[in-house]
């Protein structure tokens, strides 16, 4: 009798492809939320594996805070061109201009929290019934509890006490009108798995993931990229340092780490040896023990 042994990356990949095809089969108007970060870039690669030589059965949707790293936007546009797939951009600046949200003030102001409103408006405008995202359970303890198919009510809210049981590999994506489902195909991947997969698949990434020289300031013990989006005052000392980013979000909430890792092998080595978690560089998680749980209940990614 033959034995079937799948290497861990093959198993994670096969599971993610299965989930993406379930989205295609079960929903009328799905979308893939693309942030320009390595996790959503991995999702795009998995979508190619799930649907090529056919077209993606969903557009890519980018919620643009207007405070992006320039490198991310360049990467995004080149990628969309190469794929020949549709890109929809939801703009936080527009939400601000329309008066739907108010820009935060003060030294630590960020547009991170404002994204939720733009996201929910974009979902409503296009009538998306499923949104695929690159969140992973190893990132954060509220995420560790979330299902792969995670139902949101019409206000986009996650209710951790009313999660549907998710059995075997059977995903129940049935919803009422107005509700939508957030789908997380790489739930079971760790940060290291993503990096090893990017290496194996030879996937290109925005340059900010690799070590480079940049002007930074130290804020609350974290290195922040100096930019017009950061409210700086005379107390802030700008330094020129060799850094890279482990996670890529809004410029005002993503911190850099000092690093010489300018190649993927060195990054993987660095992460394997690291004693700080990836979201340790996210200011948005430092607010309280339940920061992520509360944002998810409010409709966040």
Q: Is there binding between residue 188 and another protein (CB under 8 A)?
A: yes
DSSP code of residue 90: E
Closest CA to 157 of 204, 123, 185, 202: 123
| Footprint (CB under 8 A) of another protein, residues 150-169 | 160-161, 163-169
> Beta strand pairing status for 87-91 and 130-132?
unpaired
Q: Is there binding between residue 287 and another protein (CB under 8 A)?
A: no
In whole angstroms, how close is the CB of 165 to another protein at the nearest point?
Answer: 4
Tokens of 133: 């995202």
Measured CA to CA, the distance from residue 109 to residue 105 in angstroms comes to 5
- Residue selected from 144, 155, 258, 265 as contacting another protein according to rule CB under 8 A: 144
Number of C-beta neighbours around residue 281 at 10 A: 21
| Footprint (CB under 8 A) of another protein, residues 81-120 | none
In whole angstroms, how close is the CB of 140 to another protein at the nearest point?
Answer: 9
Q: Is there binding between residue 291 and another protein (CB under 8 A)?
A: no
CB-CB contact of 35 with 253 (8 Å): no
Which residue's CB is nearer to another protein, number 166 or number 262? 166
Q: Is there binding between residue 121 and another protein (CB under 8 A)?
A: no
Tokens of 40: 């959503």
| Footprint (CB under 8 A) of another protein, residues 221-250 | none
- Residue selected from 1, 99, 105, 228 as contacting another protein according to rule CB under 8 A: 1
Closest CA to 90 of 65, 57, 111, 69: 65
- Residue selected from 28, 99, 202, 275 as contacting another protein according to rule CB under 8 A: 275
Which residue's CB is nearer to another protein, number 67 or number 136? 136
Tokens of 138: 């190893």
CB-CB contact of 108 with 219 (8 Å): yes
Choose the stretch contacting another protein; rule: CB under 8 A; options: 2-10, 97-105, 111-119, 240-248: 2-10
Which residue's CB is nearer to another protein, number 14 or number 238? 14
Scored b (16 or more CB within 10 A) or e, 244-255 reads bbbbbbbbbbbb
Measured CA to CA, the distance from residue 79 to residue 133 in angstroms comes to 17
In whole angstroms, how close is the CB of 273 to another protein at the nearest point?
Answer: 11
Measured CA to CA, the distance from residue 192 to residue 170 in angstroms comes to 27
Closest CA to 182 of 216, 143, 226: 143
Q: Is there binding between residue 290 and another protein (CB under 8 A)?
A: yes
Q: Is there binding between residue 2 and another protein (CB under 8 A)?
A: yes
Number of C-beta neighbours around residue 177 at 10 A: 7
Give SS3 for 89: strand
Binding-site string for another protein from residue 34 to residue 73, where x marks contact by CB under 8 A and - marks none: --------------xxxxxxxx-x----------------
In whole angstroms, how close is the CB of 174 to another protein at the nearest point?
Answer: 4
Residues that bind another protein (CB under 8 A): 1-8, 10-15, 17-18, 21-22, 24-25, 48-55, 57, 137-138, 141-142, 144-145, 160-161, 163-170, 172, 174-176, 187-188, 190, 192, 274-277, 280, 289-290, 293
């Amino acid at each position: 009798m033959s034995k079937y042994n799948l290497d861990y990356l093959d198993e994670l990949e096969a599971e993610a492809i299965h989930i993406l095809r379930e989205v295609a089969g079960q929903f009328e108007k799905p979308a893939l939320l693309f942030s320009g970060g390595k996790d959503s870039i991995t999702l795009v690669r998995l979508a190619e594996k799930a649907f090529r030589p056919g077209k993606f059965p969903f557009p890519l949707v980018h919620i643009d805070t207007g405070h992006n790293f320039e490198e991310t936007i360049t990467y995004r546009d080149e990628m969309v061109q190469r794929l020949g797939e549709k890109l929809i951009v939801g703009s936080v600046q527009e939400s601000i201009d329309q008066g739907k949200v108010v820009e935060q003030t003060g030294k630590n102001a960020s547009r991170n929290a404002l994204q939720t409103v733009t996201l929910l408006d974009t979902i409503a405008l296009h009538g998306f019934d499923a949104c695929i995202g690159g969140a992973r359970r190893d990132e954060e303890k509220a995420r560790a509890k979330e299902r792969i198919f995670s139902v949101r009510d019409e206000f986009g809210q996650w209710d951790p006490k009313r999660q549907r049981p998710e059995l075997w590999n059977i995903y129940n994506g049935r919803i009422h009108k107005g509700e939508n489902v957030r789908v997380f195909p790489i739930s079971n991947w760790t940060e290291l798995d993503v990096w090893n997969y990017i290496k194996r698949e030879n996937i290109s990434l925005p340059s900010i993931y690799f070590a480079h020289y940049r002007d930074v300031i130290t804020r609350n013990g974290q290195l922040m990229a100096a930019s017009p989006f950061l409210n700086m005052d005379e107390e802030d000392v700008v330094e020129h340092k060799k850094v890279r980013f482990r996670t890529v979000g809004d410029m005002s909430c993503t911190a850099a780490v000092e690093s010489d890792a300018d190649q993927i092998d060195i990054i993987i080595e660095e992460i394997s040896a690291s004693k700080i978690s990836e979201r340790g560089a996210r200011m948005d998680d430092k607010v309280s023990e339940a920061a992520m749980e509360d944002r998810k209940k409010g409709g966040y990614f």
